[in-house]
Structure 1
């Protein structure tokens, strides 16, 4: 089973927006997809559909999959370790890694997306960040950024720390921020400093199809390649 870790340069920059669009695009191509978000905070059990796992479940067309997608759900809109503490729980990196590895061990889908919480360096436990979880899992990274003023610095910083820990970046997706500079202009500015990973621009539009990202994730065979198969 192919797997990607969906990481962000910060909080509320569009990780779930991008993940849902990729899920829909690949499902249209007949790929079987699943999503896993090991911990989520700011979760309202009275309105689960607006949460990150709720949106992922809708993209998967599996409305009953909330528990499978996010087994650790906390109400407070705080860092996961703080939200967990308010409910009497203590998050540990070993537990989060174990949850992810259990899901990775079930090769029942073509692709599994594991989505982090917050930014690359956001705390997940009292002593571990998203990056620590990413390193432990050692999966290719899909890095999602915003298009706000200052995002180029945040992207380059995130790339530096991700690569310094030996992780590979499959692609960078710049998700459009509201009331921000022009998305295309910001993307071109980033491309002047980062040329290694593909850069995809993602308008904040529910009709964005993520076709280009789907092509990177599961490249479609050319006519010549398909002829060789048959």
Structure 2
């Protein structure tokens, strides 16, 4: 089964924006796709549609599974998952998160798994998104911003993924607010990673067309 893990250089750089655009592009091309976000924090049931899993569900279309199926672990506090879970009397474990992902990976269509925060953001008291990706043995899409300093952050994340032997299918630079020119920043980054496909995701009013990314993925 084809599985890609969408991770990032940090929090709020555009993982869900990129994931939703990719889902829409795959569906427009007639390709099946599912989405899963095992844990989310900062979740407000009153604003479920605007949440990360709510946006993923909308991108999946009318036949999408329930929000509870897309994101089974939802916590209210806008903190890292282990801290948000602790505030509700829950202790997260990597075994639990892996089992949830593997249940989804057993499905009959390609799957996007979206992490929480950056590649080195904590998922449990002692483990990170990287540990989960490593356990699952899947390839990653790395999302980064276009802000000043992003080249260093992106190359650092790529080195960490490489050290664990995680294949990177693509890097997507999601446009940041009040940032340097997107194309120029992407060109500066691409010189340091000639063997990894790099895509730019502008924040256009109509949303980013991710069809080029979709075509480039053996997925």
TM-score, with length taken from structure 2? 0.96
Task: Quote the offset at 1:5 in angstroms.
Answer: 0.4
What SS is found at the alignment partner of 1:54? helix
What SS is found at the alignment partner of 2:143? strand
Report the equivalent of 2:104. Answer: 103
Q: Aligned partners of 1:67, 1:105: CA distance in 2, in Å?
A: 18
Q: Aligned partners of 1:197, 1:218: CA distance in 2, in Å?
A: 14
Q: Aligned partners of 1:178, 1:150: CA distance in 2, in Å?
A: 14
What SS is found at the alignment partner of 1:46? helix
Q: How many residue pairs get matched?
A: 217
What SS is found at the alignment partner of 2:3? strand
Q: Kindly name which structure, 1 or 2, has the bigger radius of gyration based on alpha carbons.
A: 1
Report the equivalent of 2:7. Answer: 7
In the alignment, structure 1 residue 128 sits paired with structure 2 residue 127: yes
Task: Quote the offset at 1:207 in angstroms.
Answer: 2.7
What SS is found at the alignment partner of 1:55? helix
Q: Aligned partners of 1:106, 1:34: CA distance in 2, in Å?
A: 9
Structure 2 counterparts to residues 45-84 of structure 1, below 5 A: 45-62=45-62, 65-84=66-85
Task: Quote the offset at 1:209 in angstroms.
Answer: 1.1
Report the equivalent of 1:182. Answer: 181
For 1:88-121, what per-residue CA distance to the aligned partner results, in whole angstroms no more than 9, with x for missing partners?
10000000001001110122x2x20000000010
Q: Aligned partners of 1:73, 1:201: CA distance in 2, in Å?
A: 30
- When the two chains are superposed, the root-mean-square deviation of aligned CA atoms in Å is 1.1
Report the equivalent of 1:157. Answer: 156
Which deviates more from structure 2 when the two are superposed, residues 48-57 or residues 210-219?
210-219
Task: Quote the offset at 1:135 in angstroms.
Answer: 0.3
Q: Aligned partners of 1:53, 1:217: CA distance in 2, in Å?
A: 23
**Structure 2 spans left out of the alignment, 5+ residues:** none
What SS is found at the alignment partner of 2:46? coil
**Structure 1 spans left out of the alignment, 5+ residues:** 220-230
> Are the structure 2 counterparts of residues 207 and 154 from structure 1 closer, same or farther at C-alpha, using a change threshold of 3 Å?
same
Which deviates more from structure 2 when the two are superposed, residues 60-69 or residues 171-180?
60-69
Q: Aligned partners of 1:46, 1:204: CA distance in 2, in Å?
A: 26
TM-score, with length taken from structure 1? 0.92
What SS is found at the alignment partner of 1:47? helix
For 1:144-169, what per-residue CA distance to the aligned partner results, in whole angstroms no more than 9, with x for missing partners?
00000000000000000001101100
After the TM superposition, list the runs of 4 or more consecutive aligned residues in structure 1 that deviate by more than 3 angstroms.
none
What SS is found at the alignment partner of 1:178? coil
